[in-house]
Chain A
Amino acid sequence: MTFIEYKSLSRSEQIMYKVKEFFSLLPGKLKGFFGAIGKFFVNLVKNFIGGLKGYGSRFVQGDMSTKLSYVVMGFGNLTRGQSGKGLAFLAAEIMYIIYMAKFGLRYLNMFDTLGLVAKRVVTLPNGRQSIEFVDNSMLILLYGTMSILLTLVFIAVYIANTKSAFEAEQNQKAGKKNLTLKQELVDFLDGKYHITLLATPVLLISVFTILPLVFMILIAFTNYDQQHVPPGNLFTWVGLQTFRDVFKVSEGANKGYTFVQLTKWTIVWAIFATFSNYIVGMVLALMINKKSIKFKVLWRTLFVITIAVPQFVSLLLMNQILQDDGVMNVILGYMGIGPISFFNSSAIVARVTVIVVNMWVGVPYTILQTSGILMNIPEDLYESARIDGATPVVQFFQITLPYMLFVTTPYLIQSFVGNINNFNVIYLLTGGGPQKDMNLYQAGQTDLLVTWLFKLTMDSNDYNTAAAVGILVFIVCATLSLITFNLSKSSRNEEEFS
C-alpha cells in the first residue's frame, strides 16, 4: 500500500490498518528473528561437522608429509616449497603450546570451580605470620575465558593448516606450481582483500569487546557480589540464581522490587523522552523550514549550538543551574514563585525535570535529522489540504505527523532504544536521586536500568546482578533493533545502487 492509498482510508480504517499490519507482521518478524538465530547455530554445527569430515578424509588421502603436518603444523607446506607459510603455521603452534603450558592450562584447570583456596597463612622467614592470597576467582574466570577463546582460534588455524597442506599436495600431484609467499601476499591486496582489511579491527574487537563481554555474561551465572570479592574471597558458579533474585519480588529492600520499579520508570522515560523530542523537534523544524520564514540559518544555529557543546558540559551546567540555590530558582524568585527543589523534593518533580532537560538536549538532534525528510513530503498534499480549508494545525496532525510516522518508524525505534540506554542525562543531572524510596536497592527514583547497572558495578560491587541486568537490557534492545532493522528499507535495498 502506498502512502496515498493509505491516506485515502478513513481515520479508523487507518488505525485498523496499522494495528493489523503490526500484528500480521509480528509473528513473521519474530519467526524470522529466532529462525535466523537457529539457522546460525545449525550452520555452525554443519560447518563444524563438515570441517571434521574434511579433516578426516584429508588425513586418509594425504601422503606422509601431509599426515605429518597433522602433528607438526606447516610441515606439508615446508616440504613443498612454501616455506613462509609453513613457518608461520609452525610458529603459531609453538606459540600456542608455550602459552598453554606456561599460562593457560593452570587457569583452565580451575575453570569449573573458579578456585578452591582463597587464602592461607604463611610463615615469613623472620618468623612472623602473614596471609597470602592463593586463588583469585576473577582472574581464573578472565584468563580461563581468554584461553578458551584462544583455543577456538587455534583450532581454526590448525584446520586451515591441514587444508593448506592437502591443497599443496594436490597441486604438486597435478603438476602445478605452488604459490610462493610473495604471490600469496599479493593476493591479500586483491582477492583476499577483505581479510587484510578486517584483520586488525576484528582482532581489536575480539580482545577488547568480545572477551570482556563473554566474561561479563559468564559473571551473571556466578555469585560474584559484594560478599565474594576477590582477592581473599572466592566466587563460584550458581547457575540462574542471579536471574531468580532479580525477578523475585518480596517485601523490604531487594533487587526484585528495584528491578520492577526501575523497569517501569525506564519504559515511561523512554516513551516520554522519545516522543517529546520527536514531536517538538518536528514542529520546530517545520517552523524553521517554512517558506516565508527568514533567517533560517540563524534559527537553526540557535538550536543546534546546544548539541555542539559537549554533552557533559551542558548537562553539568544544567545540573548547576537547577540546584536549590541555582540561577533557575533566582529567576523563579523574580516571578514570585518560591524556590523549587528540582532534584531533591519528590520523585515526580525530578522525573519531569529530567524529561524537560532532555528535550533541551535532544530536540536539536530531531531538528537536524527530520529537516531533510520533511522537505520531501509531497507539496500537493498540503496544497489540496489548503484548498479544502485545513488550518496548519489540522495539516500537521492529518498530513505531516502520519507521513513522518510512516517514514521514520525505524528512526523512532532507534531513539527509543537510545533512550533506554540514555546514561548521560540521568547520571549527570540527578545521579539517580532523589533517594526517598528506601525499598530500592542501591538506586534512586530517577535511576534507569543502565545507571543502576553502573552503580551496581561501581558502588556496591554486585557484579553478578549488574551483568544480569545488562543481559536483560540487551535482550530488549536487541529485539527492538532487529525488528527495526528488518522494517527499514536500508537492509532490503542494500544492493539498490550496485
Chain B
Amino acid sequence: MIKSYKLQRTIADVVIYVILGVLGIIWVSPLVWLLLHSFRAEGGVTVPYVFPKEYTVNDYYRLFTETDVFDYPKWFLNTFVVAVFSCIISTLSVLMVSYTFSRLRFKSRKMFINVGMILGMFPGFMTMIALYYLLKAMNLTQQLPALVICYSAGSGLGFAISKGFFDTIPRALDEAATIDGATRNQIFWKIILPISKPILVYTVLTSFIGPWCDFILVRIIMGDKRDNYTVAMGLQKMVDKEYKQNYFKQFLSGSVVVAVPITLLFLKMQNYYVEGVTAGGVKG
C-alpha cells in the first residue's frame, strides 16, 4: 500500500515535470525565436524553416549606424530621458498622494479617495484628443516634455497599491515621532520613506518602465516627427507595410536591445512586485 502510494507520487511528479517542461518551452520559445532570428544573416521577413542557417551581428550594427531613416539610438536616448523625468515626477506624486491618504486625517479625505478611484476607471484614451489639443495650446506637441507630462501628470491616481502598503505600517511609529516633536513633514521623509523600500522600488521601476512600453500617446503627440519618437513607437513603425520588407530584422534586433534591460529590471523587481501587490492589493 505504502509502496504504491510512493509510486503514485513519483508518477505524479514526473507528469508535472513533463507538463512544466513542455509549457515552459512553449512559453519561452517565441522569445528564443526572437533572439535567434535577430542574429539571422539570410532572408528577409520570413524564412520557411525554424532555425536560422547563418548568424551575424550585422543588423545590430546597422541599427546603431544607419540612422538616416530610422534613428534608433536617438529614440533610445529619447525614451531614456522621458523615462527618467517621468519616473521622478510619478514616484513623487504617487508617494505623496498615497502617504496623505493613508497616514493623514483631514476633512473630505474619503471624498478625495473616491473621486480618485472613479477617475481611474475611465478608459484612458477617452482623454487623448482633448489632451492633444491642450498640449497644442501650450505649444508642446511634437516635443519630449509633452510625453513626460502625459506619463506623469495623472500618475497620482495610481495610489491604491502604495496606500495599501502604507496602511500596514503601524501607526505607533508616527505617534512616537510626534511625541518627540517631529513634524509630519519630518515623519514622512525621515521615518516612513526609509522603511518603505519595497514600495519605493516598485513605484520607481513601474514608472520607469511605463514610457518604454507606450506606443499610443507617442503616436498622437509626435505625429510624423520621427526624431522624437520613442523606441516602442519606432519599432512599431518598422513593421508597417511600407518598411517591413527592409527593416524586419532590424525590428527584431531593436526589440532585443530594448527588451534586455527591461527584462533584467523586471526580474530584479519581481520580489518587490509580489511584495507590493500582496501588501497593497488583494488582502485575502
Residues of chain A whose beta carbon lies under 8 Å from any beta carbon of chain B = 36, 40, 138-139, 142, 189-191, 193-194, 196-198, 200-202, 204-205, 207-213, 215-216, 284, 287-288, 290, 292-293, 299, 301-314, 316-321, 323, 325-327, 330-331, 333, 360, 364, 368-369, 371-373, 376, 392, 407-408, 410-411, 417, 421, 423, 450, 453-454, 457-458, 463, 466-467, 470, 473-474, 477-478, 481-482, 485, 488-490, 493-494, 496-498
Contacts and interface: CB of A to CB of B under 8 A. Distances in A.
Given A320-B239, A327-B50, A372 B278 contact: yes
A290 B126 contact: no
Interface stretch (B58-66, B67-75, B162-170): B162-170
A193 B126 contact: no
Nearest to B25: A302
B266 A308 contact: yes
Given A392-B12, A410-B282, A488-B282, A213 B126 contact: yes
A308 B267 contact: yes
B4 interface: no
A470 B126 contact: yes
B284 A376 contact: yes
30 contacts: A142-B133, A142-B134, A190-B184, A201-B93, A204-B154, A215-B130, A308-B265, A309-B31, A312-B213, A316-B255, A317-B30, A317-B255, A320-B239, A326-B46, A327-B46, A333-B48, A368-B273, A369-B281, A369-B282, A372-B274, A372-B278, A373-B282, A373-B284, A423-B216, A450-B125, A453-B123, A463-B129, A488-B282, A497-B167, A498-B170
A497 B171 contact: yes
B123 A474 contact: yes
B154 A209 contact: yes
A39 to B, nearest CB: 10
Nearest to A467: B126
A325 B46 CA distance: 7
A457 B183 contact: no
A463 B13 CA distance: 56
Contact of A408 (B27, B149, B284): B284
Given A309-B259, A319-B239, A485-B117, 14 more contacts: A204-B153, A205-B157, A213-B122, A304-B270, A310-B209, A310-B232, A316-B235, A408-B282, A411-B282, A421-B123, A453-B126, A457-B125, A497-B170, A497-B171
A310 B213 contact: yes
B266 A307 contact: yes
Contact of A213 (B27, B117, B119, B171): B119
Contacts of B27: 302-303, 305-306, 360, 364
Contact of B153 (A207, A408, A453): A207
A369 B277 contact: yes
B185 A193 contact: yes
A89 to B, nearest CB: 21
Contact of A314 (B26, B30, B168): B30
Given A213-B127, A284-B23, A292-B13, A189 B48 contact: no
Contacts of A189: 183-185
Interface string B135-173: 001000000000001101111110000001001111100
